[in-house]
Amino acid sequence: MPTYPPEPFRIKVTESIRLIPPAEREKALKEAGYNLFSMKAEDIFIDLLTDSGTGAMSQEQWAAIMRGDESYAGARSFYRLKAAVEDIFGFKYFVPAHQGRAAENILAACLVKPGQYVPSNMHFDTTDANIRARGGRPTNLVIDEAFDPANPHPFKGNIDIAKLKAFIEKVGAANIPFGMVTVTNNAGGGQPVSMENLKAIADVYHSYKIPFFIDAARYAENSFFIKEREPGYAHKSVKEIAREMFSLADGMTMSAKKDAIVNIGGLLCTNDEKLFENVKNELILREGFPTYGGLAGRDLDAMAVGLYEGLDEAYLAYRLGQTAYLAARINEAGIPTIQPAGGHAVYLDAAAVLPHIPQSEFPGQALCVELYREGAIRGVEIGSVMFAHMDADTGQMVYPKLELLRLAIPRRTYTQSHMDYVADTLRRIKERAASIRGYKFTYAPELLRHFTAKFQPL
Ligand SMILES: *Cc1c(COP(=O)(O)O)cnc(C)c1O
């Protein structure tokens, strides 16, 4: 039986959750058109839809909220956040933003011109969309191992350095306003990027005079993976590793809803004074004055505290241990998951659980619905519902390589018995898998259809 370090906290405030009876679940599923995005949260028992903004804040964060300074300009809260950001990330300039995508929007507005390319390991979907919204072309250059779910490579988020060089040579450095890397690689299973790879990425970008930005949403989890897995880092603190990582880059964007353990917030940092001037002007237009960036003063204070709590090594050992534990328990039930377990989520191979359901009948969605039906648990399909599309040239359907169900784990929110409940529910589903059927659309919009589509069982 796998184990992990006990929670380095005890529980002072609780929030009730209720397991509604099977008949009510069936009714809720029907009313939602078998799309879990359309469900009421109160009908969910264990909600693993996302780890974004869903974590539990600490007593220190709630105390900091009471100290929030709501002055429009130059608030004390801003200066407390500034001190934390400078201490942890070490960039010369920064602005707060209301979430990660707001920071991405401003960066893309300032730097991306139509037709230009922005390489990365894999862009997260909001980053991808913000680059495209400015006419840019996001490009993913992750190593091939990332596409093999069984491959246990310790740093499956790495960029393929040979591909990166060849890509820059092909499109020309002048057509690349900045380069990125996402740590950990959310779109690729929450997989980390090694320090060795980060150094090589920085060297390549800088040899072509391309500014290097890190998408830092899960930088603390990435730093802990480096400490655990990369030779030479076991004796360094996670904070030292983070500092080293950011010293390689020219700036970063961050969704603070991840490793800063707040319910709302984001950051944009840069060392470039000219860019910073433009960023501030964009921010004032879209988000707010540069010392609050679309957030309340109290949100800035919660972030300032949460940034440090996210780096706490006892917390990170428990956090990554909990994810690995859930993956191991699910594997014990005979269900394969992307290996190794990522930082924030477990990705189940739905095609392996439901091999009799073809991709055109959505095995990931079928497993997602079954998880709710059996245990009122909410996950998210990452497969054909999200990604299958008609090829404009051939008129043929193009299906994604993998049919996955993602279970994202909110921070400091669920206990080991919740994880056992999830694994036991999946075990029961696996036992009756042969009788589970696929789905068809009754409604599907053109873009981002997974959010609002409706289904009917076959
Ligand atoms: C969540 C996320 C974002 C976007 O952040 P929001 O706060 O949801 O706008 C960007 N990049 C990565 C890697 C993320 O996980």
Tens-place pLDDT, residues 207-231: 999 999 999 999 999 999 999 999 9
> Among 370-374, 434-438, 445-449, where is mean pLDDT lowest?
445-449
Q: Where are the domains of the chain?
A: 22-51+312-457, 59-309
Neighbour count for residue 436 (Cβ, 10 Å):
18
Ligand 1 pocket check for 258: Cβ under 6 Å: yes
Q: Is 308 helix (H, G, I), strand (E, B) or coil?
A: helix
Tell me the best of 126, 140, 219 to mutate to test the pocket of ligand 1, counting ligand atoms within 8 Å of each CB and taking the most. Answer: 126
Could you tell me the pLDDT band of residue 264, with boundaries at 50, 70 and 90?
A: very high
Q: Check pocket membership of 100 for ligand 1, CB cut-off 6 A.
A: yes
Spatial contact of 403 and 415, defined as CB atoms under 8 Å apart: no
In tens, the pLDDT along 11-39 reads 999 999 999 999 999 999 999 999 999 99
For atom 1 of ligand 1, the residue with the nearest CA is 255
Sole residue written with tokens 């890509």: 167
Per-residue tokens: 392:
């404009």
Task: Domain 59-309: state its class.
Answer: alpha beta
Name residue 47's beta-bridge partners.
Answer: 378
Residue nearest to atom 8 of ligand 1 (CA): 100
Residues 6+ apart with CB under 8 A from 447: none
Q: List the beta bridge partners of residue 253.
A: 215, 268
**Neighbouring residues of 246: CB distance < 8 A, sequence distance ≥ 6:** 88, 89, 90, 91, 214, 216, 219, 252
Q: What is the pLDDT of residues 424-433, one digit of tens each?
A: 999 999 999 9
Give the mean pLDDT of the chain: 96
Phi, psi of 163 (to 5 degrees): -65, -40
Tokens of 79: 């200066």
pLDDT at 75 over 80: yes
Residue 334 has pLDDT above 80, yes or no: yes
Helix (H, G, I), strand (E, B) or coil at 110: helix
Q: What are phi and psi of 120, to 5 degrees?
A: -160, 180
Q: Hey, which CATH number is domain 22-51+312-457, 3.90.1150.10, 3.30.70.20, 3.40.50.1820, 3.30.465.10? A: 3.90.1150.10
Q: CA-based Rg of the chain, rounded to a whole angstrom?
A: 22
Q: Return d(Cα 319, Cα 344) in angstroms, integer.
A: 8
CA–CA separation, 347 and 186 (whole Å):
11
Mean pLDDT of 90-100: 97
- Distance (Å) of CA 400 to CA 147, 387, 427: 11, 6, 26
Q: Is 253 in the pocket of ligand 1 (CB under 6 A)?
A: no
